[in-house]
Structure 1
Amino acid sequence: MGTAFFYHLTRTPLDVTLPMLAGKSLAAGWKVAVRGQDRGRMEWLDQRLWLGPEEGFLPHGLLGGPHDALQPVLLTVVGEVPGNDPACLMTIDGAEVTPEEVQAMERVCILFDGTEEEAVQVARGQWKQLTGAGCSAQYWSEGSGRWEKKAES
């Protein structure tokens, strides 16, 4: 059974934090699915990831390509089934994740923008839903300038 890791972004933007976390997942031998709510936003993220530093290249694709099953990191939206058999699911922009997905994955990462009150409220609701269903969860904050675990359930 996996754990849900909540990442409260306050200093580092999504397009910097996500590659760092996905890189750690790849290093653990896991394929990753990244789930958002909007196709346009995922296309933006796809472009941002291609612009990343050469030494930190994150191999990835946008769902619907000819090699989805081979993608180490596959960008998807709610309702799409990732074709790369991920062991790690990362959600952004309040995309839904179910307790069953947390239990089936090695890890679920929920990244949310701490500067947007609505995003914080959605993440709190997700924490309550997932822990209420018996899922393990950790809350990580970068408020001090580095990532620190602030809560665990």
Structure 2
Amino acid sequence: MQVDFYHLTATPLDRALPQIAAKVVESGARLLIVTARDEQRADLDRLLWTYRPDSFLPHAQAGTGDDSVQPVLLAPAVTPTNQARHVALVDGQWRDEALAFDRAFHFFEDEHIAAAREAWRALGGRDGVERRYWKQSDTGRWEQAA
């Protein structure tokens, strides 16, 4: 299982997440996007329809239709009712339930850096968990730092 930590500094979540989601969907996989905040889920729902003028990411919010057919599902908890094997935690909060997936993306901003560091340390001792830390360069490109 792979956990990618994305420290959002120069690029906000609304630009970073659609890129990751699009890559997951293009690979034929499914993605569960988790945030406990209702307003954030609503904002992301709108974003995924409009983030690029020439495309959209097919998605839904959990419980608003047939979750099982959604390539991308927005949810308040780590419950992959769309059978996703990839999960994106976007509210800055790590959840150990993400370890049941093949890959987890943990997005966090400076206000959640202490919690992200704690999650990084805790995951370091887990068998079968590969951690990667991504930071942004001065030009906004993602670079693997650890």
Using structure 1 for the length normalisation, give the TM-score.
Answer: 0.86
Q: Which residue of structure 2 aligns with residue 112 of structure 1? A: 108
Q: 1:91 aligns with which of 78, 89, 92?
A: 89
Quote how far apart the aligned CAs of 1:83 are.
1.0
CA distance in 1, matches of 2:107, 2:98: 16
CA distance in 1, matches of 2:5, 2:87: 12
CA distance in 2, matches of 1:129, 1:56: 38
Q: 2:143 aligns with which of 139, 145, 148?
A: 148
The Cα RMSD (Å) is 1.6
Quote how far apart the aligned CAs of 1:50 are.
2.1
Q: Detail structure 1 runs of 4+ shifted over 4 Å in the superposition.
A: none
1:41-96 per-position Cα deviation (integer Å, ceiling 9, x unaligned): 21121122222213241111111111211111000113x52310001000012233
Matched, 1:6 2:2: no
Letter in 2 for 1:94: G
Aligned residues: 144
CA distance in 1, matches of 2:33, 2:108: 13
Matched, 1:28 2:36: no
CA distance in 1, matches of 2:103, 2:80: 15
Quote how far apart the aligned CAs of 1:10 are.
0.9
Using structure 2 for the length normalisation, give the TM-score.
Answer: 0.89
Between stretches 48-57 and 8-17, larger displacement belongs to 48-57
Stretches of structure 1 lacking an aligned partner (at least 5 in a row): none
